[in-house]
Structure 1
Amino acid sequence: MTTRIGILGAGLIGRAWAIVFARAGMPVTLYDVDDDALDTAREAIRQSLTNLQLAGLIEDAEPPLALIRTENDLARAMADTAYIQECGPENVEAKRRIYTDLETVAAKDTVLASSTSGIAASQFTEHLHHPERCLVVHPVNPPYLIPLVEVAPSPLTWKTVVDRTMHLMEQVQQAPILVRKEIQGFILNRLQGALLNEALRLFRDGYVSAEDLDKTVKHGLGLRWSFMGPLETIDLNAPGGVVDYGQRYAPLYHDIDHQRGDDEPWAPATLAALDEERREQLPTADLADRQAWRDRRLMALIAHQRSFSIS
């Protein structure tokens, strides 16, 4: 039986999710109340699929494009769907309203998943008649290029719903991880936030330029992290494995952690100084071109990774 997918919201994330599911051969209905947004989404999806074809990551852009239809009526969009991916505003009250509406139009066994970057599912689903079929499925942007997906159920989510969702994500070539307990920001953004907070402090306090800080990750940490994670890294960086590594370097990391204050690394003055350096390296007018360059580099990396096995 064909799995029909509904997507709420035709912005960047909604469009990207449409590509993920259609690329896997699943019919997708992309809903938005704004007809102009739907028209824009259709053309943006066509361009992204064409880019994937040119990179050799799909054979033909037309078959997945043909599986995506747009709709401005919520009931028609979500009819007969087995799974709905919500891509609405990052706001609890807005999501509560959206999920109330979705519950009225979706079948009782339809999974309702949110793309939220950091809001726990219980905050916007506990008021529903059937919160047991709701959870967070947080992608990394854009999910058709970066496969990690965080599956984060609420305490009320049924295990069968989690299992169905994990299986679906694997079917559509994503790499799902299970967030075992609710936590703000989930896993990826908490890790990313820790690095960003320290990066901003080091920049603010004059230890390093913005360019050199990016080089540290790009030519250092990032090379390893593109094919293995930080825990495997430390396990391989000492002759005896992770315990040996801890005995050697734990005091250093412990001292560094104590040196960090609880001050605000995202202060406006810090961001203004960072923006000044970044605009010297990349004028605002060139941001879109650089974003397209980023996506082409990701496509090339994915094509390279597909040429050999990465587990």
Structure 2
Amino acid sequence: MIDKHDLHKLCGGRPVAIVGAGLVGAGWAIVFARAGLHVKMFDANPEITRKAVPLIDTQLQGLHRHGLIDEAPAAVLARISAVDTLAQAVDGVAYVQESVLERVDVKRQLMVDLDALIAPDTIVGSSTSGIPGSAFALGLSISPRVLIAHPVNPPYLVPVVELVPSPETATRTVDVADALMRAVGQAVVHVRKEVEGFVLNRLQAVLLREAWALVQEGVASCEDVDKTVRDGLGWRWSFMGPFETIDLNAPGGVADYAVRLGPLYQRIADSRGHDTPWDADLIGHVEAQRREHLSHDDLEARRAWRDERLMEFAAARRTRDPRN
């Protein structure tokens, strides 16, 4: 639940900045604006910013339709301002959410630029999907105030955010970022050691590696793999995690499950090397199967369909989950 009192205390009435206005950055703009914060949004490519504004408007309309925002969409959108320069974006802000290209050199240059621009108490969160902060955010005066704040896309519908400090991140930075994310309605995961991919993408990577291997070996089609998750594993995973799942799946709980099925999982793990990348033939094979179910021309419409389903799910969780 969004706590506007905490937000006021944390930000002191100051806005936040979004640097990088692609899908992730635009999503973050919605997260902060719907919570009541003013947002300044900047992208080095003005065309990306231009496209972000109508996208945000469309998503706000959907959120309002599903009862996920109480205000009129126009009122939330009015709190988001597109600006022309990085200096304008970060001037006077309490927090910066970086969502630029997933490249170390680009992120490093941005950190150097921010080092010269932001206030001495401004915190910077990076949306990077798997690059540790130590790869681009060390050795600067702002380094103690930089950490990873990795979301799932779109962050205004899937609330989890991973907070990952670098070796130079101050404890207070983590504490403030935690409080801010909770106050804007996100579910915080603390990653306590730097590791490539953090937690979410490391878990996803294991599932994806096996999914591709099953298709490559002719064990199952792409559609049947998707069906196994969509109509099987995903039903439970939509409201509980893997440890709670197995804790409930054996009479004696998680330890009983480990004794019963641990050897099977070890044999499965031992049967896999995963020592080669997905090659061109395999990628082409998977691409062909996916295009049988969804043409390139329909990708954008299917993304909109996905977001509508996520909105329905978010609305249901709001009314049924006592933790929300």
TM-score by length of structure 1 reads 0.98
What amino acid maps onto 1:240 in structure 2? G
1:200 is aligned to 2:209: no
Aligned partner of 2:142 in structure 1 is: 130
Counterpart check, 1:22 vs 2:33: yes
Percent identity over paired residues: 48
1:70 to 82, 91, 107: 82
Distance in 2, matches of 1:186 and 1:15, equals 22
Q: How many residues get paired? A: 311
RMSD: 1.1
**Aligned partner of 1:32 among 5, 18, 43:** 43
| Displacement after TM superposition at 1:270 (Å) | 1.0
Moved more, 210-219 or 256-265: 256-265
Contact 1:20/1:144, CA 8 A, preserved across alignment: yes
Asked if residue 48 in structure 1 is aligned to residue 59 in structure 2, the reply is: yes
Return the letter of the residue paired with 1:77. Answer: A
Cα deviation for residue 37 of structure 1 reads: 2.3
Who is 2:68 aligned against?
57
Answer whether contact 2:209 2:274 (CA < 8 A) is retained: no
The one-character-per-residue Cα deviations of 1:246-294 (angstroms, maximum 9, x if unpaired) are 1100110011100001332522211110111111111111111111111
Contact 1:22 1:64 in 2 (8 A): yes
What 5-or-longer segments of structure 2 have no aligned partner?
A: 1-11
Q: Which moved more, 1:208-217 or 1:257-266?
A: 257-266
State the partner residue of 1:306.
318
Query: Could you tell which deviates more after superposition, 47-56 or 215-224?
Result: 47-56
Which residue of 142, 152, 162 corresponds with 1:140? Answer: 152
Q: State the distance in 2 between where 1:211 and 1:262 align.
A: 22
Deviations 1:144-186 (A, max 9, x none): 1100000001111111100000110001101011000000000
Aligned residue number for residue 92 of structure 2: 80
Deviation at 1:20, TM superposition (A): 0.3
Structure 1 pair 213–288 and aligned structure 2 pair: CA distance change class (3 A): same
- Match of 1:260, SS state, is coil
Moved over 3 A (4+): none
> 1:161 maps to what in 2?
173
Q: TM-score, normalised by structure 2?
A: 0.94
Are 2:257 and 1:249 aligned? no
Residues 103-148 of structure 1, C-alpha deviations (whole Å, 9 max, x = no match): 1110111101110001000110113123111100000000011000
Q: Shift of the alpha carbon at 1:32?
A: 1.7
Please state whether the residue corresponding to 1:307 is helix, strand or coil.
helix
**CA displacement at 1:35 relative to structure 2:** 2.6
Contact preservation (8 Å) 1:197, 1:265: no
Instruction: Give 1:130-279 correspondences, 5 Å limit.
Output: 130-264=142-276, 266-279=278-291
Q: Residue 38 of structure 2 aligns to which amino acid in structure 1?
A: P
Q: Tell which has more relative contact order, 1 or 2 (C-alpha 8 A, sep 6+).
A: 2
The unaligned stretches of length 5 or more in structure 1 are: none
**Secondary structure at the counterpart of residue 207 of structure 1:** coil
